[in-house]
Amino acid sequence: MGFINQDIKPLDTKINNSGNLEIGGCDLSEIAKKYKTPLYVIDKATVETMAHDYKKAFSALENVKMVYASKALMTSAVAKIFHDCGFGFDVVSLGEMYTLKNAGIDLSHATFNGNNKSPEELEFALKNNIARVSVDNFYELELLDREAKKQGKIQKIFLRINPRIECHTHEYIQTGQLDSKFGFDFSKVSETVKLILENYKNLELTGLHSHVGSQIFETSIFNDEIEVLIKEIRNIKDEFNIQLTEINIGGGLGVKYTKEDVPPSVYDIADIIIKALDKNCKLYNVEKPTLIIEPGRSLISTAGVTLYTIGSIKDIENIRKYISVDGGMADNPRPSMYQAKYSAEIVNKKETVNMEKVTVAGKFCESGDVLIKDIELNSPKSGDILCVYNTGSYCYSMSSNYNSSLRPAMVLLDKGEAKIIVKRQTLEQLVQNDVLL
């Protein structure tokens, strides 16, 4: 086993004495029976271990802040876990900010990010003392300054810049390439800083922010990104005589979804980042800024699994055998959107001698609703429980009511005990906002 993001399964995943799959001291067959399927499952020990690894990996830096990219998975209980681990938060919506408040967490621990923040979102953020706003465009600068002036505040901001770095990941989760909706282009940085200093008196520029993408395996891009940011800090100091004190390099560390994936560990990227910071601060004669790093997927993904019950089975001779489960693209749209790949195994079968190549299909009315294509499973039968690994990130947060399906429940495994942290949606809740004319 490697570090958490280099493993497919959560910590302490094993076959127990009953012959069932067990995670965190909990029998998944019993969990599925009690809470029904589809069911999201999060192992608390795995989350806490990964959070600890991040803090330890970067401990050589005197000034470093860890913030959790909430878009990966945001519930009140999950927020509380990361807060207790000493993490701040990167939020991208009114809903994520409200969830933090619901968990009893002050927004002074959060940075507000996004490419089209609404006036209502900015008003809420400032009223609740958001720590930083990462400003993405000229329109937002105007809106934010107006709101800060209205509230009689000086709002600290990052300037999000597009570093023109293209990482080799799926095009939908690249964010730092030239053709991107995110951030100010290099050519606009000087113009933007001048505008802030001269026109927007209720904004205080404290640092630069960039993000190159998600599910990243290439460590060299972090070196390139830091050089871009430090060089810009030097240019800003030379031109405007102001010293920016923070850089936010985003997150993006990849995880191991299948045995073919070989992501770097957090210790691998920490070594690259710390050395790059030292080297470039010396090269450009810049005082070392506070480093902010905002992991999401790599903190929560491996801690999560999704449990399904196998229903119908269709064997097309000499072509393919489909096994259909009671969930699919409504609770995990990633395979349909990104061609994402997953690993899985049957919960309630100890022996692994009768392996079959099958395709795991969802129940929704789309031919593209396929969760896993051509996977080896142990003689799957109707009624078996299937455990799909590494679903902690971007599954619940991207889930929908497609086909008027109900969003699944979520349980947290903690020292052999399972606790509901998101209730299963009910039929009444499904239609509660409908208006009958």
Residues catalogued as catalytic: 365
* Orientation of helix 119-127 relative to helix 138-151, angle to 10°: 40
Q: Cβ contacts of residue 173 below 8 Å, gap of 6+?
A: 213, 214, 215, 338
Which residue in 427, 430, 426, 414 sits closest to 41, CA to CA?
A: 414
Complete DSSP assignment for 296-364: -HHHHTTTEEEEEEEEEEEEETTTEEEEEES--TTT--HHHHH-----EEETT----SSEEEEEEE-SS
Q: Cβ contacts of residue 374 below 8 Å, gap of 6+?
A: 357, 358, 359
Question: Checking DSSP bridges between strand 290-293 and strand 246-248, what pairing results, if any?
Answer: parallel
Rg of the chain over all Cα atoms, to the nearest angstrom: 23
Which residue in 361, 353, 378, 352 sits closest to 315, CA to CA?
A: 361
